[in-house]
Amino acid sequence: MAKPIIYSCSGCSSAAQMANYMAVKLDRKDVAEMSCIVGVGGNVKKLVKTAKSGRKIIVIDGCPLNCSKACLNNQGIEPDLHFELTKFGVKKQNHIDFDMEQANNLLELIENKIDEAIVKETSLVLN
Protein backbone atom coordinates (compact mmCIF):
# COMPACT_ATOMS: atom_id res chain seq x y z
CA MET A 1 0.00 0.00 0.00
CA ALA A 2 1.44 3.38 -1.03
CA LYS A 3 2.09 5.94 1.65
CA PRO A 4 -0.67 8.62 1.83
CA ILE A 5 -0.05 12.17 0.70
CA ILE A 6 -0.50 14.91 3.30
CA TYR A 7 -1.31 18.55 2.62
CA SER A 8 -1.66 21.42 5.05
CA CYS A 9 -2.43 25.05 5.07
CA SER A 10 0.51 27.25 5.96
CA GLY A 11 -0.99 30.70 6.33
CA CYS A 12 0.16 33.34 8.79
CA SER A 13 -2.13 32.54 11.73
CA SER A 14 -1.08 30.39 14.66
CA ALA A 15 -3.58 27.69 13.61
CA ALA A 16 -2.22 27.62 10.05
CA GLN A 17 1.36 27.34 11.25
CA MET A 18 0.33 24.53 13.60
CA ALA A 19 -1.23 22.68 10.65
CA ASN A 20 1.98 23.03 8.66
CA TYR A 21 4.09 21.92 11.64
CA MET A 22 1.97 18.79 12.02
CA ALA A 23 2.16 17.87 8.34
CA VAL A 24 5.93 18.29 8.32
CA LYS A 25 6.23 16.13 11.46
CA LEU A 26 4.07 13.39 9.91
CA ASP A 27 6.27 13.52 6.81
CA ARG A 28 9.46 13.26 8.86
CA LYS A 29 8.00 10.38 10.91
CA ASP A 30 7.30 8.60 7.59
CA VAL A 31 3.55 8.42 8.30
CA ALA A 32 2.70 10.27 5.09
CA GLU A 33 4.47 12.10 2.28
CA MET A 34 3.94 15.84 2.37
CA SER A 35 3.28 17.56 -0.92
CA CYS A 36 2.71 21.18 -1.92
CA ILE A 37 -0.88 22.37 -1.73
CA VAL A 38 0.07 25.73 -3.28
CA GLY A 39 1.21 23.85 -6.38
CA VAL A 40 -2.13 22.06 -6.56
CA GLY A 41 -3.98 25.35 -6.09
CA GLY A 42 -1.73 26.99 -8.70
CA ASN A 43 -2.46 24.18 -11.16
CA VAL A 44 1.20 23.11 -11.44
CA LYS A 45 0.93 20.01 -13.63
CA LYS A 46 3.43 17.80 -11.77
CA LEU A 47 1.85 18.54 -8.38
CA VAL A 48 -1.70 18.10 -9.67
CA LYS A 49 -0.63 14.74 -11.14
CA THR A 50 0.72 13.70 -7.72
CA ALA A 51 -2.57 14.72 -6.09
CA LYS A 52 -4.53 12.70 -8.66
CA SER A 53 -2.28 9.63 -8.39
CA GLY A 54 -4.90 7.61 -6.51
CA ARG A 55 -3.03 7.57 -3.21
CA LYS A 56 -4.92 8.32 -0.01
CA ILE A 57 -4.99 12.03 0.80
CA ILE A 58 -4.86 13.60 4.25
CA VAL A 59 -5.47 17.32 4.79
CA ILE A 60 -4.83 19.42 7.88
CA ASP A 61 -6.42 22.86 7.76
CA GLY A 62 -6.01 25.38 10.53
CA CYS A 63 -9.41 27.06 10.41
CA PRO A 64 -12.93 26.87 8.94
CA LEU A 65 -11.78 28.50 5.69
CA ASN A 66 -10.38 25.05 4.79
CA CYS A 67 -8.09 26.47 2.12
CA SER A 68 -6.14 23.24 1.54
CA LYS A 69 -9.32 21.24 1.07
CA ALA A 70 -10.62 23.93 -1.30
CA CYS A 71 -7.44 23.75 -3.43
CA LEU A 72 -7.99 20.01 -3.84
CA ASN A 73 -11.72 20.45 -4.52
CA ASN A 74 -10.85 22.86 -7.34
CA GLN A 75 -9.09 19.91 -8.99
CA GLY A 76 -12.04 17.57 -8.32
CA ILE A 77 -10.25 15.82 -5.46
CA GLU A 78 -11.83 14.98 -2.12
CA PRO A 79 -9.45 14.11 0.76
CA ASP A 80 -9.80 10.75 2.47
CA LEU A 81 -9.14 12.34 5.87
CA HIS A 82 -9.62 16.00 6.71
CA PHE A 83 -8.72 17.66 10.00
CA GLU A 84 -9.75 21.23 10.81
CA LEU A 85 -7.77 22.26 13.88
CA THR A 86 -10.30 24.78 15.22
CA LYS A 87 -12.70 21.84 15.69
CA PHE A 88 -10.11 20.46 18.14
CA GLY A 89 -10.07 23.66 20.19
CA VAL A 90 -7.19 25.42 18.42
CA LYS A 91 -7.61 29.19 18.40
CA LYS A 92 -6.77 31.05 15.21
CA GLN A 93 -4.68 34.03 16.28
CA ASN A 94 -2.61 36.46 14.26
CA HIS A 95 0.87 37.65 15.13
CA ILE A 96 1.57 34.93 17.71
CA ASP A 97 3.07 31.44 17.58
CA PHE A 98 1.03 28.31 18.17
CA ASP A 99 1.10 26.41 21.46
CA MET A 100 3.70 23.65 21.01
CA GLU A 101 2.24 21.45 23.76
CA GLN A 102 -1.22 21.62 22.19
CA ALA A 103 0.30 20.91 18.77
CA ASN A 104 2.13 17.81 19.97
CA ASN A 105 -0.95 16.49 21.79
CA LEU A 106 -3.09 16.97 18.67
CA LEU A 107 -0.36 15.51 16.49
CA GLU A 108 -0.55 12.29 18.49
CA LEU A 109 -4.34 12.22 18.17
CA ILE A 110 -4.19 12.83 14.40
CA GLU A 111 -1.47 10.22 13.92
CA ASN A 112 -3.65 7.69 15.76
CA LYS A 113 -6.63 8.54 13.53
CA ILE A 114 -4.45 8.09 10.44
CA ASP A 115 -3.19 4.74 11.75
CA GLU A 116 -6.78 3.63 12.44
CA ALA A 117 -7.85 4.58 8.91
CA ILE A 118 -4.90 2.72 7.38
CA VAL A 119 -5.54 -0.39 9.49
CA LYS A 120 -9.24 -0.27 8.58
CA GLU A 121 -8.37 0.06 4.88
CA THR A 122 -5.86 -2.79 5.10
CA SER A 123 -8.35 -5.06 6.86
CA LEU A 124 -10.92 -4.33 4.13
CA VAL A 125 -8.37 -5.35 1.50
CA LEU A 126 -7.49 -8.56 3.33
CA ASN A 127 -11.09 -9.73 3.78
Using one digit for the tens of pLDDT, what is the confidence trace for 74-119?
999 999 999 999 999 999 999 999 999 999 999 999 999 999 987 7
Reported pTM:
0.94
Using one digit for the tens of pLDDT, what is the confidence trace for 24-58?
999 999 999 999 999 999 999 999 999 999 999 99
pLDDT value of position 126: 43
pLDDT band at 123 (very low <50, low <70, confident <90, very high): low
The parent domain of residue 42 ranges over 5-126
Phi and psi angles of residue 5, each rounded to the nearest 5 degrees, phi first: -95, 140
Reported as half-sphere exposure (CB side, CA atoms, 13 A), residue 25 has a value of: 16
Rg (CA), the chain: 14
pLDDT band at 120 (very low <50, low <70, confident <90, very high): confident
Domain count, the chain: 1
pLDDT value of position 127: 41
